[in-house]
Structure 1
Amino acid sequence: MDPKELFSTNLIDGKIVASHIERQCSPLPSVIVIGAGISGLAAARSLYDASFEVTILESRDRLGGRINTDYSFGCPVDMGASWLHGVCNENPLAPLIRGLGLTLYRTSGDDSILYDHDLESCMLFNTDGHQVPQQIVMDVGETFKRILEETGKVRDEDPDDMSVQQAISVVLNSHPELKQQGLSHEVLQWYICRMEAWFAADADMISLKTWDQEHVLSGGHGLMVEGYDPVIKALAKNLDIRLNHRVTKISNGFNKIMVTLENGTNFVADAVIVTVPVGILKANLIEFIPKLPDWKVAAIADLGVGNENKIALRFDKVFWPNVELLGIVAPTSYSCGYFLNLHKATGHPILVYMAAGRFAYDLEKLSNESAANFVMQQLKKMFPDASDPVQYLVSRWGTDPNSLGCYTYDLVGKPEDVYDRLRMPVGNLFFGGEAVCMDDHQGSVHGAYSAGMMAAENCQRYLLEKLGHVQNNLPLVSVVRHEMLETTNIPLQISRM
């Protein structure tokens, strides 16, 4: 074949499409990675270290995707992912975090009823501004555990899936002694609010069948004190990354794939790894030619995409108590709320209000100023003399055209093989991102990272076999070690002030 090759003459959607795309041949296999989030960077890093020709196309004007460390407060504030879920050496991100010397602030041990926080460093208030006695918080927490245990029995007795909310209703109707009244009812709603935050979805949307089947690593949960940005920068070092390159079409030809940007520019490679959020795939913002097979389309449709937003407030001084979590209880989980106290973890006078599910979408309907004002109203219910913030930040993940949500969750009635189908390649088209990770680590940063590594390894094996390079000196991804990973003797730096 001539060094300038004919891209394809294929039968696509019943039409003969001839594309004369000129491209200089490379002696090494070439891969395009779509998306510069941690999954895409992990995939590209692995292939680059294995001497592949790799190009990353990213629609945003920055790296990180749903990781977004903001420095406008004069210190790092993660407005997207901010926790390492599983502070242990078994976490696939641990070697990189160790090598970079990053500090983790542990907010919970294993099996906390609040998921990523311990109850001991939590203070709740009602809407009148009165603190909820800690004994009530503890007692309702025990009741909530019992309710969740009973939902397991509901699941065992009913072959049909239902929502977690429906199962809780069944339990409370069957066990009236577990029903809560007055302030205790509001505290129970707050616990449900925290559960919804874990999934970034309302309880009436979450599958009872799988909600507690997630494999959570040991060691509890740790905030990245310096933010996730150092991890992103380390993975991105020396990679060919094209920002502001929004992909709108992927055309699979004979042995080559052409990727088209919104401005009409084309890139051609031997394979493509797609790591865009599932929200983008569900919205059909990327056209696939030929169309993705029905089983892949169904897998995308069968998953839910949750939404969680943060409103970060920086103050001149600290006026709140020295606990990690400040919560507001209310008659419904929708009306409950909570603040993460970054001062306890980082020493900076910052509170971060967090909202999930429908409430997160409703907050996005407000202007940034209105959203900040709403949050301050909530804060002043707890602390009437609260000073106004000197700065604020507002995330909008649900309407962000580059994400359309935060991370995946299991819809009611989800087929058991949906994740297997989602991660399965289509020829030389591979898929990464948090949703396709193995071992039920969806929605986590380490899950997204490991999914990128897995996609890269599968892509490399496919290309080396197809191109006849199996016996050459190109190393397999699985044995490639990034320089920051050679740090097995350095412990994780964990604090809890």
Structure 2
Amino acid sequence: MNLYRCFLVIFLTFTSCTLLEVNCKSDSYKRKDVVVVGGGIAGMAAARRLLKEGNLAVKVLEAQKTRYGGRIWTYREGARGVRGVDVDIGASFLNTKAKNNSLIKMAEEFELDTASSGNLQIHFVEKNGEKKVYFGDNATDLYTEVFKLVIKALDSVKKEGVDRPVIDVMLEALDFTYETDEQKYDKNIVKAVITSLPVAVLHNFSSLLYRIENDFGWDKIVLDGMGALLDRIVAGSGTELPVKIELNKVVRNIKIDSDRKKVLIRTVDRKQIVADAVIVALPIGVLQNKNVIFEPDLPAKKKKALQDIGLGYNTKVVVGFDKAFWPKDVGTFNVFSELASYGFLQTWTNAYRLSGNPFLIGNIFSSEAKLWESKPKKLKELVIEVLSELFGAELVKAHEIKTFIHSNWSTDEFILGSVSYPKTGNTPEMWTALQEPICPYIYFAGAYTETVSHVDSLHGAYNSGVRAAEQYINRVCKKSKESKKKQKKQPKEDAKKVKKMKSSKGQKTKEEL
């Protein structure tokens, strides 16, 4: 009988889908339309997973006019003769310590060249201009001391059970430690390292929810750029269909039409798309800014979670010179000075070691990222000043800057931020609320729906897309509804059993009498 049904379905659907697209295991053979809103890696992961089911028509709506990818952007148009790693102005590192990191496995399957981030060199510039340089074991030992102090501070917070910003907890621990013991490193150097950490520069990062171990392992780089990995996901492999993407589709309204049992997606170009379900994979900044109107409004718990979690900023600066004049074998340069402090241009990746091209890539974390994105001329001046502190003013001045690019994640209207993170007072339940669908029509993906204990991650974003797709595929809404019905039905059945037992006991008593 099952075989007969499958042949019947194939015959009825042959004009609209191929034999491979028919899912004989499904309870319903009617082709469903699913729209993914947001073309970042979370949205692409969701689309790719949905397409594997075969009986779904899937398309992705992306607001950007010329590209997809969200905060993945390998900007090859920014310079000639470059490799992807030279111009990755978005996400660029994969975490090797993360359990079952699907993206690393994919990079291997797609035969993309990867490399480690390499060794570290630290430059500490004092106010009088004197410099101390740490590299090799000395650099490793310095960071080891810092992380020991941070772990000790976090343990004390967990014992107290009172949430406070990570930066406050770490600096208190630093003051206490240096009052009681002799230390291997100068207090000012240790403080400079502490205040450069992403969790320190992000406002109000929760010390109770932070897990320092999640911030280790960011040392795998895709040499052709992270965009190359995303392109492979979009294109598919083997017999997989490519993801259908529509650019320049700015979604402004998502409405549930209960009468038709459909969801309506409306764009600013006055078009409306009717679908059976939608996966919302928009950046957290866009949702916090309320750029999309939901009808009916989002549940109170979800709205509160979206507004209360932390939103951080990060700007990448790509500087290409006529020639590499810095130590070519160093992977990362860290600089601590009066100017390069609290996340401002303190970390520089040496692209030359990876590609052979004379490029350095710097980072600006925290609210200053938003400020300097709108002042490129002044930013360039400060970049030269920081690099002069690193390598010497005369050396920097002797070489011409051929390429100067910076990202605009904080001011891009379709991104409006860089990272999500847990703020003081947040609870794990907030992330549960973020993952819950609005049954059975709207599902949610994005790194901010996965991250509870640290700054969001690329693999977290990818996993969130897969999870949202599987929520739809596995009919979690239907199962949830059936479970609620069962829970409501159970007390009535229990009451009937008790009544029957009492009745039976009463009859027995009469017989005995």
Q: Shared fold by TM > 0.5? A: yes
Q: Which has the larger radius of gyration?
A: 2
Change (3 A) 1:349 1:282: same
Q: Is 2:107 the partner of 1:97?
A: yes
Identity across matched positions, percent: 25
Looking at structure 1, the residues matched to 386 and 468 of structure 2 have their Cα atoms a distance apart, in angstroms, of 44
**Residue 222 (structure 2) pairs with residue 224 (structure 1):** yes
In structure 2, what is the equivalent of residue 397 of structure 1?
A: 409
1:309 Cα deviation after fit:
0.8
Over 3 Å counting, the alpha-carbon distance change for 1:213 and 1:337 in structure 2 is closer
Residue correspondence of structure 1 range 43-442 to structure 2 within 5 A: 43-51=46-54, 52-61=56-65, 62-71=67-76, 72-74=78-80, 75=82, 76=84, 77-86=87-96, 90-107=100-117, 120-126=119-125, 130-134=130-134, 137=139, 140-177=142-179, 184-196=186-198, 199=199, 202=201, 204-212=203-211, 215=214, 221-237=219-235, 238-254=242-258, 255-322=261-328, 323-330=330-337, 333=342, 337-366=346-375, 368-382=376-390, 383-384=392-393, 385-386=395-396, 387-427=399-439, 428-437=441-450
Residues 3-31 of structure 1, C-alpha deviations (whole Å, 9 max, x = no match):
xxxxxxxxxxxxxxxxxxxxxxx940110
- Name the CA distance, whole Å, in 2 between partners of 1:236 and 1:288: 28
How far residue 140 of structure 1 moved from its aligned partner, in angstroms, is: 4.2
Pick 1 or 2: higher relative contact order, CA cutoff 8 A, min separation 6.
1
Counterpart contact for 1:306–1:409, Cα < 8 Å: yes
Residues 126, 163 of structure 1: CA spacing in aligned structure 2 closer, same or farther, 3 A cutoff? same
Describe the shift of the 1:439–1:291 C-alpha distance in structure 2 as closer, same or farther (beyond 3 A). closer
Quick check: 2:35–2:58 contact (8 Å CA) kept in 1?
yes
How many Å separate the matches in 1 of 2:327 and 2:442? 52
Aligned to 1:28: 31
Task: Calculate the TM-score normalised by the size of structure 1.
Answer: 0.79
Measure the CA separation in 2 of the matches of 1:433 and 1:362. Answer: 25
Give 1:48's aligned amino acid.
L
- 2:245 and 2:409 mapped to 1: Cα distance? 23
**When the two structures are superposed, what TM-score results if normalisation uses the length of structure 2?**
0.76
Instruction: Report the secondary structure of 2:315's partner residue.
Output: strand
Q: 1:31 to 1:417 in 2, by over 3 A?
A: same
CA contact (8 A) 1:67 1:228 kept: yes
Aligned length: 424
How well do the aligned residues superpose, as a CA RMSD in angstroms? 2.7
**Aligned residue in 2 for 1:443:** 456
Whether the 8 Å contact between 2:255 and 2:265 is mirrored in structure 1 is yes
Q: C-alpha separation between the residues in 2 aligned to 1:39 and 1:268?
A: 22
Change (3 A) 1:174 1:59: same
**Per the alignment, in what secondary structure is the counterpart of residue 269 of structure 2?**
coil
C-alpha separation between the residues in 1 aligned to 2:169 and 2:49? Answer: 44
Asked whether the 8 Å contact 2:320–2:402 carries over to 1, the reply is yes
Assess if the C-alpha contact under 8 Å between 1:167 and 1:208 holds in 2.
yes
Distance 1:59 1:230 in 2: 20
Q: CA deviation at 1:350?
A: 0.2
Q: Structure 2 vs 1, CA of residues 446 and 180 (structure 1 numbering), >3 Å: closer, same or farther?
A: farther
The secondary structure found in structure 2 opposite 1:333 is coil
Distance in 2 between the 1:179 and 1:31 partners? 61
Retained in 1: the 8 A contact 2:209–2:452?
Answer: no
- State the Cα deviation string for residues 344-382 of structure 1 (Å, max 9, x = none): 12221100111101222222241x232222211211223
Q: Secondary structure at the match of 2:370?
A: helix
AA at the equivalent of 1:448: A
Q: Which has the higher helix share?
A: 2
After superposition, what is the alpha-carbon deviation per residue over 1:396-437, rounded to whole angstroms, capped at 9, x for unaligned? 111111111112111011112111111111111000111123
Give the conservation status (yes or no) of the 8 Å contact 2:93–2:218: no
Instruction: State how far apart, in whole Å, the 1-side matches of 2:368 and 2:148 are.
Output: 27
